[in-house]
Amino acid sequence: MIDLVVKSCGPMTALQDRGRIGYQGFGVSPSGAMDRRALAMANTLVGNPPDMAAIEFVNLGGSFTAEGGDLRLAVAGAGVSASIDGTPVPLLTSFMLREGQTLDVGHPRTGTFAYLSVAGGLAVEPQLGSLSFHLRSRLGGLKGAPLKAGNHLPCRLEAQAGEPMQLTVDVVEETGPLRVMLGPQDDYFTPESIQLFLESEFTISPQADRMGFQLTGPKLEHAKGFNIVSDGIVDGHIQVPGSGQPIVLMRDRQTAGGYPKIATVISADLARFAQMRSGTKVRFRTVERDEAVAAARQLKDWIASLPSKLTPVRFDLTTEHLLSRNLIGGTVDALSSASHE
């Protein structure tokens, strides 16, 4: 077994995968990676299934070393950079972290969440079928906790062989309003409120975490009060409490809630929304079910296509690269007899 040792990291650095599926009926939040596209890219680069557990960084990066052998790793998400002993690692490229070397992962530059994947995954015991860390219940993660300096993450030795790969995929920066479907309780709002919701600009407030993003903007008026019989919650539901300020529920959300939900962010747009920082302006646009389903299928197909976009890393024959390689297998004296045979 090889260990990935944490030298330093931010306070909410934790393990995340697809999420804890099948337990919402018992009040257990699914949790899971906030940006499943970035998680899939990092995993694909090291030959893992797209939803395998990886290290999720939140706003800050971290430093790591390999102990007991070499590790094949990859980093993806939010424009994050990485370096090994000070030498930069190309973006969207897998790499070997040799025993004793230090990997430094920079802070996300174009968003909030980034991921570090290990070939073969982490040999950590799951809880309720997932390694995803959920802060409020202390489920998942490393023994029910986020990562901290000094932690040792066991990795599978047999999975580390393989050449460095790169993803030749264009990561397009999406713009425009977030797509939503109205409901399920849009009838609890006046027609004027719904129009105001769709025509106004909202700002992501500093009160934003993995459970939900509070928005600030025009107050949305309720037509039937702001309390309902608690019903099920899904990722992307937009609750509107008595304050009239919307809250977009995210991966660590509760499983049931008693505030009416004016709309739901479609699943294909959740990763983009998750990467938006506090202070970002957002608008919403309604779509019908067919468009939401088509977008979800398109995202699923895109993730499934990632392995076909892997190519071996090709190094440029620069002086720096040549000097970094062991190109000499031996020396011969031009005056020795062997040189004249």
- Judge if 143 and 236 occupy the same domain: no
Predicted local confidence at residue 317, as pLDDT: 43
- Are the CB atoms for 61 and 80 separated by under 8 Å? yes
In a domain, 317, yes or no: no
Euclidean distance between CA atoms 50 and 244, whole angstroms: 38
In a domain, 309, yes or no: no
- Are the CB atoms for 70 and 2 separated by under 8 Å? yes
Euclidean distance between CA atoms 45 and 94, whole angstroms: 6
- Judge if 147 and 220 occupy the same domain: no
CA nearest to 108, candidates 236, 244, 275: 275
**Other beta carbons less than 10 A from residue 234's beta carbon:** 15
What letter would DSSP give residue 54? E
- Are the CB atoms for 46 and 70 separated by under 8 Å? no
Beta bridge mates, 16 = 54
What letter would DSSP give residue 189? B
Length, in residues, of the chain? 341
Predicted local confidence at residue 336, as pLDDT: 44
- Judge if 266 and 240 occupy the same domain: yes
Predicted local confidence at residue 162, as pLDDT: 86
**Which of 287, 309, 327 is the C-terminal boundary of a domain?**
287
Query: What is the token pair recorded at 190?
Result: 């006046």
Query: What is the token pair recorded at 129?
Result: 């079928």
- Judge if 215 and 261 occupy the same domain: yes
**Which of 168, 199, 214 is the C-terminal boundary of a domain?**
168
- Are the CB atoms for 147 and 13 separated by under 8 Å? yes
In a domain, 306, yes or no: no
CA nearest to 103, candidates 68, 62, 60: 62
- Tens of pLDDT along the chain (341 residues) come to 899 999 999 999 999 999 999 999 999 999 999 999 999 999 999 999 999 999 999 999 999 999 999 999 999 999 999 999 999 999 999 999 999 999 999 999 999 999 999 999 999 999 999 999 999 999 999 999 999 999 999 998 888 888 899 999 876 667 899 999 999 999 999 999 999 999 999 999 999 999 999 999 999 999 988 989 999 999 999 999 999 999 999 999 999 999 999 999 999 999 999 999 999 999 999 999 999 999 999 999 999 999 999 999 975 544 544 454 444 444 444 454 444 44
Query: What is the token pair recorded at 152?
Result: 């040792």
Predicted local confidence at residue 322, as pLDDT: 45
Q: Residue 78 sits in which domain range?
A: 2-168
The secondary element (H helix, E strand) that includes residue 116 is strand 113-118
Euclidean distance between CA atoms 44 and 50, whole angstroms: 6
CA nearest to 42, candidates 161, 221, 167: 167
